[in-house]
Amino acid sequence: MAQADRRESMNDPARVAVTAAGVVSPLGFGLAETLESLQSARDCVSPVMRFSVTECRCKTAGQVSDARLLSSHAQVPRSGRLHRASHMMIEALQELLTQQPEFEPELAVVGTTSGGMSYGERYYRSLQRAGDLRHAATWIANYPAQKPVIDAQAAFGISAPCEVIANACASGTNAIGHAFECVRSGCYQRVLAGGYDAVSEMVFVGFDSLQASTPEKCRPFDQHRSGMVLGEGAAVLAMENLELARRRGAPVLAEIIGYGISTDNFHITQPEPSGSGPRQAMQRALESADISAADVDYINAHGTATLFNDTAEGRAISALFNRVPVSSTKSMMGHSLGAAGAIEAIVCLLALEHQFLPANINFSGLDDDLDLNIVANEARPAVVRTALSNSFGFGGTNASIVMRKFPPSPGLRRTGDA
């Protein structure tokens, strides 16, 4: 891009297009399988078999098939030495590049929480028990949080600089938001953004010991909710300067138009009860998008099904929005931590493209303290022009992004629209 054009784009914020996307999660491998699971409101949570859960209250999680992951990447050099998280990132990036093989990112921004945590477990357990350390080099090499991103890029000959955002459960949404700001500012034209996390025993047992996980079904916003279930997966989005993407004839799946963050610092694990932090993040996302709350047609809630989170988020949504349809798709696939915001951005993208509202399954009745329009148990067709996705994490870190159908529907305009 010419220097004069770059200066002009920095003075006039660029619009940001999503031109391709890839995902692997309990809902399926790829956009088509994910769409099918969403439209059929499929419960993709299953018993944990990877490690013993006999002493845990919770015995289920949303899981990705190891056999399918490994069989998909037999051609990747030394694939047997890679962490499961690397295989998930490779799978997601492969789908993205199948849609847009010419996409060459200038930067990769990826959110995660645990990195290769399960390899860290093996290493330190072996040290403690004076065990076999023959595989220690592999465990240590796969421990850094950037390793799955580097592995995925290397598998396809990409060498973009990598930024990892580890900001608790808001990591994936913050990664997309940061990538949005990078493109919007004119500093970058093409950014790869997303998130990943793999279920590990230490994290699973940690949430169980906090009694945050449920021995029953995951029931976000339900009056009988009793906790979350963990999930895993990876999702990536090709984010580009909209005008440049259109010039080269790239398809535009959706437009990201707003991003908001906040930190309320109320408690190390509990959200501020009034929902002031989530409300501020959503309000800032709307302001960033230059739209009003009335313009939002669907909210993909953070919705973990814990008592405190759902109450705080529900109050924040009610304070800003008037009966907008809300669902937490974590009810179908579990909470994939740092990957959650990226996977749920894909959910919003599919809702915009295929004009439906994803379901909040296992729902029997709304908590008496909440006033929300829950998309209960079944997906339903709807006019969805603008969607907002929430991710909130431990320590009061809150992030929201706003996505819009492209081309924009008549009657919904913002500053700078053609």
Q: Catalytic amino acids?
A: 169, 302, 335
Containing 402, the helix (H) or strand (E) segment is strand 397-404
373-374 and 16-25 beta bridge pairing: unpaired
| CA 220 to mean position of chain CA atoms | 17
- The DSSP secondary structure of 291-329, one letter per residue, reads --GGG--EEE------HHHHHHHHHHHHHH-SS-EEE-T
SS3 367: coil
CB contact at 8 A, 255 and 402? no
The partner residues of 380 in beta bridges, in order of sequence, read 357
Amino acid of residue 211? Q
Q: Which residues pair with 235 in a beta bridge?
A: 23, 195
What would the two tokens of residue 147 be?
């390793």
Residue 387 near residue 300 (C-beta atoms within 8 A): yes
Going through 204-359 in order, the beta strands assigned E by DSSP cover 233-241, 254-263, 298-300, 325-327, 356-357
The HSE-up count of residue 193 (CA atoms within 13 Å, CB side) is: 30
Q: Are 393 and 170 in contact (CB under 8 A)?
A: yes
Query: Tokens in use for 234?
Result: 């990876």
Contact 169, 113 (CB under 8 A): yes
CB 292 within 8 Å of CB 257: no
